[in-house]
Structure 1
């Protein structure tokens, strides 16, 4: 076939280019779904083919091929218009950032797939400053003044961004993922009923029960190494399955993971990829994420549904978090649907376990890395804790806060959407309907707010011990978010972590297992929505039990001497 005969007419080419530019203007105002875009493309192909046929008689094959060429020209014009707009005319064009990030969000998606988003965005802030354009329609901030405007008390009209639409296995919004401000407020109130001070006191004996099981398992393994990462996960997830649904995954007893954990890890990875570009949600079956993650996402949805159904069918319900969440709240605009309750069921255990497990594991790593800190840590707990309930322990609290500062459970921040009228942040207008967030990992490691930001210094949280020249701006400490979206489980997480160390630090003296390289743990930290960490092999060196035994002997001797003299047993 003569190639020249396939060249479209000038009129058809001009029409294709014009349609590409016009389509971009329409899509800017009304972004189509994947299905809508495909439908539009098919219709445009039909229009272009019809247009070509008006320029003279053509065979069907030539008509189809010339129409396809026109379609390619149309798509090229559409793409060129989008790129030119994003580079030169976009409302966020004044903000700095890598050129590719201004053109496409797939750069950010690549880093999610590579599991290094936290470090990548932090490096961009080091290069470009307090605000970086990380995708065509999104800004990342790390100034302390931006926290209150985006997440804090002044952010009442700022809803969550499209990131929260991305879960391909969710049939309804959870309280966490809902973007409607009114909807979020009333659903959040249903959750608040399960996190009051009375409820936390009721949960404490249940936490202690699981700590007793963990304590027994560690004692059974004296003289051998344990993967602390795994055992802390078992503890955190067993606790939340109990507090959340009055069930027990049984991981501490069996010493192996329940299917829930790998399903959650895989589902989270799938979600963080899909959430970068929510429009690809219908295409997830073909998206380049490993098949296991896709299966994990489906398994996680099934496990969450099963948990909900068992709780719903149970007649004599022991008070737990889901009892409070699922009960109809007075003043609620409507009852929650089953899909919404299932979405909340999926959220309870995942959100309540990850922070606790990560914080404790990172504390283990630091304690074994710095024996001087470990000795002070144990000394404080020995002196002010009875092992059954919390007390004032400033060094422990400082250690917890340092873990959360250096390794926040949501390191890349929580995406928000600027209101239609826009919002002024740090003196500059962010136009409406663009995404923005404060990068938690970067701001909590900023020397302007925390001196020696990369160092683990618990004393910075103790006012009487903090050096006078230290920067310490708690407005930049946002591991549990801030404002109307502050994590409801914050106090429960602190309670669990304190009880954990009160129980174990008084009984064991942990150290790296023989041959374990602690630096390998740091090198293997990855991002998947939260931090993905590797094995942390440790053992109990036994000195704590000897020390405790000696203390008891000395105490017993003191008591005997006290009673011996009045009874005439001493000269």
Structure 2
């Protein structure tokens, strides 16, 4: 009797198993058929597999090849490419004004990805909705104004001089060294001092602080995690099992978070650091609360350091690979100054070729290669005269847009003159308006004044004081993986002090 009952129960369960199996097989097939043939984006160009499933593009992200993959797609399919079932990548100049700028009297685009694993209701300046972002932006903008940067110059000069000392120490050893390291040391030291009043002391110790190491160690897992979160069906599992662990890990007393909170408790103070400017202009009820300040300053720690060090590393490599450009820059800097004490923010701001060298380095090697995506309003949006349906992820990929032959002549060459000789027939077809290395609109980089000041001051003093030799220059240093940011390879150089006797 028991055997008979077991058999009957087995027969009853088989249809359920069959239904579940059929669903598991047929749903993905139906999902892909819909995406390819019936989705609102079906008419946009791109590989059919990218239209069918997000796993195609995710593979390039997970293997660190997103930058080269995205560029190859635009080279094959044009200025607009469907890179995922519900995502379009643009490289046209229209994308900035139509998507990122304020659209008077029209529905605004939204941030496509807001998840920074913050507690519910807490926003930083990157993930905040528009109304909260506007309030936060007003509070922090004073800290990055021209006036603020000018007051912060003594601190910048202090760390640039430490960097010069580091390079002289390396010269005495008469060995090649990785130039990426001291540039990262310095930029992280500067932003730490500006953010919470205490350096990482990385330059002094010639050693990466553990917080910096942990940051770089998290890039790849973080990149993979964000891709998994976008996969159909996986987000629910992620929220159930993975998110709680991440939130506990991120909010258990991070070193930088603790230091920022301590600096916040000290109040305005006399030093013209970032916190002083924020607190001076933080109107009650109209500014930022303490938790928002801590969360936002955590963003500044990365955005105000890694990208600056990345750009400087790329600029030095490009200068070494283009001796004509380096000699022209040397002539401008060494012909303008006779001593280090003369090199200040006011005077380097008057050097057009130095500015062009930095801009061309950002075009050729954009420090933030992926850009920030937006989501089209529910009613849809017109981009360059082309209608895009509602609730579609849209964005510009700087590494693709800035290096596309559609936008720039000789796009893979390093030619700073394109930013100065705007009437030169050689560059007449350059679409300079596509070049927005700090993004555009109300959410552009609030710290670009500080970034330019730091990059110009560092590069000017390096070129004034040293001649550099690239070691192992036969390897294309710019060919790098990307996991949110560039994963920089060692940039081996030797330095020699300039003899002015």
TM-score by length of 2: 0.88
Partner of 1:228: 179
Partner of 2:363: 405
Structure 1 regions of 5+ residues with no counterpart? 6-55, 289-293, 550-571
Specify the SS of the correspondent of 2:465: coil
Specify the SS of the correspondent of 1:221: helix
Q: Is the 8 A contact 1:242 1:248 kept in 2?
A: yes
Q: Is the 8 A contact 2:102 2:108 kept in 1?
A: no
Partner of 1:256: 207
| 2:82 corresponds to 1:124 | no
Q: How many pairs were matched up?
A: 481
Alpha-carbon offset, residue 299 of structure 1: 9.7
Alpha-carbon offset, residue 72 of structure 1: 2.2
RMSD after superposition: 3.0
| 2:497 corresponds to 1:539 | no
Pick one of 320, 342, 360 that aligns with 2:273. Answer: 320
Pick one of 387, 396, 400 that aligns with 1:438. Answer: 396
Alpha-carbon offset, residue 363 of structure 1: 1.1
Partner of 2:309: 357
Partner of 1:164: 114
Specify the SS of the correspondent of 2:477: helix
Q: Deviations over 1:263-299 (max 9, x none)?
A: 22233333333333535567569999xxxxx89x859
Partner of 1:140: 89
Q: Is the 8 A contact 2:74 2:400 kept in 1?
A: yes
Alpha-carbon offset, residue 251 of structure 1: 0.4
Q: Following the alignment from structure 2 to structure 1, what is the Cα–Cα distance between the partners of residues 357 and 155?
A: 24
Q: Following the alignment from structure 1 to structure 2, what is the Cα–Cα distance between the partners of residues 447 and 520?
A: 20
Specify the SS of the correspondent of 1:133: strand
Partner of 2:222: 271
Q: Following the alignment from structure 1 to structure 2, what is the Cα–Cα distance between the partners of residues 86 and 377?
A: 52
Partner of 1:527: 482
Alpha-carbon offset, residue 530 of structure 1: 1.8
Specify the SS of the correspondent of 1:85: helix
Q: Following the alignment from structure 1 to structure 2, what is the Cα–Cα distance between the partners of residues 307 and 507?
A: 35
Alpha carbons of 1:346 and 1:502: their partners in 2 closer, same or farther (altered >3 Å)?
same
Partner of 2:299: 347
Q: Is the 8 A contact 1:161 1:416 kept in 2?
A: yes
Q: Is the 8 A contact 1:380 1:393 kept in 2?
A: yes
Q: Following the alignment from structure 1 to structure 2, what is the Cα–Cα distance between the partners of residues 372 and 428?
A: 42
Q: Deviations over 1:323-378 (max 9, x none)?
A: 4446673374575352x333212201100112211111111112222222222111
Partner of 2:262: 310
Q: Following the alignment from structure 1 to structure 2, what is the Cα–Cα distance between the partners of residues 191 and 164?
A: 20
Specify the SS of the correspondent of 2:152: helix
Alpha-carbon offset, residue 162 of structure 1: 3.5
Alpha-carbon offset, residue 68 of structure 1: 2.3
Q: Deviations over 1:293-312 (max 9, x none)?
A: x89x8599723322223223
Higher RCO, Cα 8 Å, sep 6+: 2
Structure 2 regions of 5+ residues with no counterpart? none
Q: Following the alignment from structure 1 to structure 2, what is the Cα–Cα distance between the partners of residues 301 and 96?
A: 47
Alpha carbons of 1:210 and 1:334: their partners in 2 closer, same or farther (altered >3 Å)?
closer
Please identify the structure whose Cα radius of gyration is greater: 1
Alpha-carbon offset, residue 538 of structure 1: 0.9
User: 236-245 vs 368-377, which deviates more?
Assistant: 368-377
| 2:192 corresponds to 1:237 | no
Alpha carbons of 1:370 and 1:356: their partners in 2 closer, same or farther (altered >3 Å)?
same
Specify the SS of the correspondent of 2:369: coil
Q: Following the alignment from structure 1 to structure 2, what is the Cα–Cα distance between the partners of residues 211 and 351?
A: 19
Alpha-carbon offset, residue 315 of structure 1: 5.8
